[in-house]
Amino acid sequence: MKKAIKNFLVCTYELFSSIVFALPRHKLFNVVKSNYMRLQGAKIGKGITYYPGIKINPCMNIKLGNQVDLAWGVIITTGGGVEIGDRSLIGYRTIISSANHIIPPNKEKIFYSGHEPKKIIIENDVWIGGNCVITAGVRIGEGAVVAAGSVVTKDVPPFTIVGGVPAKIIKERQ
């Protein structure tokens, strides 16, 4: 019985979240989305733009600075904690995943191995292009640019442009 109740509550939460985050990116709806996240313990700055279709789960362990822009299809998992600094742009269909599956030793079952949460920090004035993947434990420095389609597996120094799979430094910003 407890499992059935838990499953019902999880499904209800997921359904309600998908409805809230499907709302258009009008100022009024952005306020609704920010307050929905605050009710769950998120720390949310001012002037956040949420395009429709984003997913943030759960809406805790996340801190969004002022004037953050989350484009269509952005997915953020917050198990390890996520901080996104002021004036940062997160491109279409980017995945920010603060937890990863543990690869078990020997030939043990992956399904039962659990997750390893690690905090992701995206500092101020960062631009992450579309279709990027930001992996657990990464810090992206102030003013950095992540080229579209990149997979960030290591820290990105401030004021650099990175790209590729895995992302590597292309050049420093002038």
What does the alpha-carbon distance between residue 134 and residue 150 come to, in Å, rounded to a whole number? 8
Residue 58: cis peptide before it, omega within 30 degrees of 0: yes
Q: What SS3 state is found at 127?
A: strand
Q: Is 101 a catalytic residue?
A: yes
Q: Which of 101, 154, 171, 173 is catalytic?
A: 101
Residues with Cβ within 8 Å of residue 71, at least 6 apart in sequence = 51, 54, 89, 90, 91, 92, 93, 94, 130
Tokens encoding 22: 């499907």
Let me know if 95 is exposed, middle or buried by CB neighbors in 10 A (0-12, 13-18, 19+): middle
By the 8 A CB rule, do 157 and 141 touch?
A: yes
Instruction: Encode burial over 8-46: b for 16+ CB neighbours within 10 A, e otherwise.
Output: eeeeeeeeebeebbebebeeebbeebbebbeeeebebbe
Which residues are the active-site residues? 101
